[in-house]
């Protein structure tokens, strides 16, 4: 591995093709990629990951879980480098996604798309039993480029999947990989012989300086591109990892394609949401899979956030720009400090210096509320929170993240228009920070620099590859960057502001004065109880808005089998009074069974309830409300001789426990001194265990 990384530590030019990519050895201290990371070595990641596989994303599904949207990615596994595969589907959970016209994006959370290949370094997801998440966030993904048979991660590039990546993984795991099934696309690429005489030739790029996500068109001239595009692509350096890999525009961004000229819009959202186009050489791959890299570089001054969206199953996936709106009634966004963050005076002052820099530079209208809040949960709740991480949300090596919540609308069924509804900012409290205005030293990360960068994402600026700019993808410890670049940061922020001022579709002025649209259904409770006739399911709603129906779904093991729809019950449509629903599953109960509700709105939007479980002999399912809760919890319990009830934090540590007397089926809890965040409520009686997820406000 060291040889591979050192080989890419410099630019190497072979003939007229630039082969080198900037890379950093796994042991270096440079932080980079997806909003500034601290490196986690390959050795550390492999030691911590419980499952390591080469796989393809076979299917994805986003679901709304209330506080957040998450995406479930099902993997088709080709090779196992470490660990044991689950009996059924291998599902990886990533933060963010799209449900209807609601969208959530989280910096430092890779987005996966069907067809994407990679090596996945996984650990169990504590919030999704039976499912996995990437260990160390984006550093848990080593993505494949089948055009070049290379692989890349935030801090290294492997010139050959077969000759560099596989040996590096096997050296660290101490074993050869176990084949599961042939990786046909990769094998086809490895067997394909190069045809130099058929490769395209790039003679020019115009203009040489351009912007991304603004519909600006790059013209590529040369020969051998092919009379038609076919499967041909244009590749831009990925600015999310400093150019370690290439990203390609969506099909809708190609303007024209001929054998001698390609016109393409420079994208900020790309195929597979793999990254944003950045500065550097451009790669052209023609329809017969021959590739060439330009000798000249294109410089991308700034990138504006775009969202990819498909208006129907047959419509193309297209990029959409995002407008900022005056959500606070004063033409901007009001941010709220969590009390613990506000107690750190130096951190608060650094964050506000960064706000002032953006306000003075581009007129960004962000202000701090005069009061703090006890809420520490980052959630779609119409409260823009600035907080430290205390619930294990940040992955290893992540300095901070920005949550962006979007709402879409259309005019007379036409094009979708997107606005930024809310942002939350979350930082790693335990990091070695320099909070003051002094220079960072002794391995410190400069908090004002990181805050300035993350606030830039909140203004809807993407990463660029431009050292000296605030939105440059990388920063190292002991360095600072507290000044906006005129050509990049200021120009990009100004462009976003100007677009927002001119974006008047869907009556943004009215939208700006409104609270976010309520969730279509407010589910108060959902429980299941085993009886002589089967399993009785009951649920109650307090509010319904344009609800169409509830589908009851069941599974004997969600990790190993698909959910089966048992029935559909009509919903109330629109109601502001409590509604009760019930369904009896008469199928005999031979073992533990899982249930969930799928609620569909009139516009087709789908939401899923939390999962409840029933075991033979259990008279009820563990249910707790309200959720989120503040001080008191009402808990419905399964009947049992005796049990223990525990609250677990996301590390699995018990923070509260209470004995449950025999046959007691209801309990009121008042857990003391809990920090806001996500917890698991666990009921355990003998070998019976039930759990449900709770949010403490």
CA–CA gap between residue 288 and residue 193 (Å, rounded): 12
pLDDT digits (tens, 9 = 90+) for 178-206: 999 999 999 988 887 667 778 899 999 99
Q: What DSSP letter does each residue of 673-693 carry, written as one string?
A: SPPSEEEEEEEEETTEEEEEE
The owner of tokens 């879409």 is 408
What's the mean per-residue pLDDT of the chain? 83
- Name the least confident of 27-41, 339-353, 532-546, 568-582: 27-41
Q: What does the pLDDT read at residue 577? A: 79
What's the pTM?
Answer: 0.70
Q: Give 196 or 236, the one with higher predicted confidence.
A: 236
pLDDT at 221 > cutoff 50: yes
The arithmetic mean of pLDDT across residues 389-417, rounded, is 80
Q: What does the pLDDT read at residue 377? A: 63
Q: Of the candidates 680, 560, 526, which has an alpha carbon nearest to the alpha carbon of residue 131?
A: 560
pLDDT at 664 > cutoff 50: yes
CA–CA gap between residue 64 and residue 52 (Å, rounded): 28
Largest pairwise CA distance in the chain: 80
Confidence of residue 28 (pLDDT cuts 50, 70, 90): very low
Q: What does the pLDDT read at residue 603? A: 66
CB atoms under 10 Å from CB of 11, counted, come to 10
pLDDT at 523 > cutoff 50: yes
CA–CA gap between residue 622 and residue 65 (Å, rounded): 18
Torsions phi, psi for 144 (to 5 deg) = -95, 145
pLDDT at 520 > cutoff 70: no
Confidence of residue 255 (pLDDT cuts 50, 70, 90): very high
> Any residues with CB less than 8 A from the CB of 453 and at least 6 apart, and which?
35, 36, 470, 471, 475, 481
Whether omega for the bond prior to residue 240 falls within 30 degrees of 0, making it cis, is no
Q: Give 215 or 340, the one with higher predicted confidence.
A: 215
Q: Which residues of 541-577 are buried (b: 16+ CB within 10 A; e: fewer)?
A: bebbbebbebbbbbbeebbeeebeebeeeebbeeeee
Q: Give 413 or 686, the one with higher predicted confidence.
A: 686
pLDDT digits (tens, 9 = 90+) for 293-316: 999 999 999 999 999 988 777 788
Confidence of residue 27 (pLDDT cuts 50, 70, 90): very low
């Amino acid at each position: 591995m060291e040889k591979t990384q050192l080989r890419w530590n410099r630019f190497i030019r072979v003939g007229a093709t630039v082969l080198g990519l900037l890379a950093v050895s796994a042991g270096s201290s440079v932080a980079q990629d997806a909003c500034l990371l601290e490196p986690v070595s390959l050795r550390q990641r492999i030691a911590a990951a419980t499952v390591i596989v080469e796989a393809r994303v076979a299917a994805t599904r986003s679901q709304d879980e209330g506080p957040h949207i998450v995406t479930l990615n099902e993997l088709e596994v080709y090779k196992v480098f470490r660990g044991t595969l689950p009996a059924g589907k291998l599902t990886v959970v990533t933060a963010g996604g799209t449900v209807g016209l609601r969208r959530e994006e989280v910096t430092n959370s890779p987005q996966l798309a069907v067809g994407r290949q990679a090596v996945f370094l996984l650990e169990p997801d504590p919030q999704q039993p039976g499912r996995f998440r990437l260990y160390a966030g984006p550093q848990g993904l080593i993505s494949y480029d089948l055009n070049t048979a290379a692989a890349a991660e935030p801090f290294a590039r492997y010139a050959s999947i077969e000759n560099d990546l596989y040996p590096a993984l096997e050296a660290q795991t101490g074993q050869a990989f176990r084949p599961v099934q042939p990786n046909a696309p990769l094998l086809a690429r490895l067997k394909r012989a190069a045809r130099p005489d058929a490769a395209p030739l790039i003679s020019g790029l115009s203009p040489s300086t351009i912007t991304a996500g603004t519909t600006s068109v790059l013209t590529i001239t040369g020969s051998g591109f092919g009379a038609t595009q076919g499967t041909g692509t244009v590749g831009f350096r990925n600015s999310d990892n400093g150019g370690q890999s290439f990203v390609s525009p969506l099909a809708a961004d190609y303007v024209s394609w001929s054998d001698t000229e390609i016109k393409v819009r420079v994208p900020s959202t790309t195929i597979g949401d793999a990254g944003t186009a950045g500065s550097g050489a451009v790669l052209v791959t023609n329809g017969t899979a021959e590739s060439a890299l330009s000798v000249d570089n294109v410089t991308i001054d700034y990138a504006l956030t775009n969202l990819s969206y498909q208006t129907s199953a047959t419509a193309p996936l297209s990029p959409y720009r995002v407008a900022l709106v005056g959500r606070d009634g004063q033409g901007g966004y009001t941010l709220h400090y969590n009390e613990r963050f506000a107690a750190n005076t130096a951190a608060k002052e650094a964050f506000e210096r960064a706000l002032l820099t953006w306000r003075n530079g581009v007129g960004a209208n962000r202000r701090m509320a005069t009061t703090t809040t006890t809420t520490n949960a980052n959630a779609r709740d119409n409260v823009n929170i600035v907080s430290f991480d205390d619930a294990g949300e940040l992955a290893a090596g992540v300095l901070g993240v920005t949550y962006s919540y979007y709402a879409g609308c259309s005019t007379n069924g036409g094009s979708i228009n997107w606005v930024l509804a809310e942002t939350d900012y979350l930082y790693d409290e335990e990091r070695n920070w320099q909070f003051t205005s002094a220079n960072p030293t002794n391995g410190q990360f400069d908090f004002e620099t990181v805050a300035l960068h993350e606030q830039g994402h909140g203004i809807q600026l993407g990463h660029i590859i431009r050292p000296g700019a605030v939105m440059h993808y990388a920063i190292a410890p002991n360095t600072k960057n507290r000044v906006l670049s005129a050509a990049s940061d200021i120009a990009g922020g100004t462009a976003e502001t100007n677009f927002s001022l001119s974006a008047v579709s869907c009556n943004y002025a009215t939208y700006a004065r409104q609270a976010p649209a309520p969730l279509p259904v407010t589910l108060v409770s959902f429980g299941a109880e085993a009886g002589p006739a089967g399993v009785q399911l009951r649920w109650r709603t307090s509010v319904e808005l344009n609800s169409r129906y509830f589908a009851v779904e069941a599974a004997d093991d969600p990790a190993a089998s698909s959910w089966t729809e048992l029935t559909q019950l009509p919903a109330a449509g629109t109601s502001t009074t409590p509604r009760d629903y019930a369904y009896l599953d008469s199928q005999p109960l031979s073992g533990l069974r899982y249930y969930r509700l799928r609620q569909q709105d009139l516009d087709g939007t789908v939401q899923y309830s939390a999962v409840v479980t029933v075991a033979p002999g259990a008279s009820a399912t563990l249910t707790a409300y309200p959720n989120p809760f503040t001080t008191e919890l009402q808990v419905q319990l399964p009947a049992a001789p005796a049990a223990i009830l525990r609250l677990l934090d996301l590390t699995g540590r018990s923070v509260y426990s209470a004995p449950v007397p025999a046959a007691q089926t209801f309990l009121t809890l008042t857990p003391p001194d809990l920090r806001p965040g996500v917890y698991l409520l666990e009921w355990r009686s003998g070998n019976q265990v039930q759990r449900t997820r709770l949010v403490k406000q």
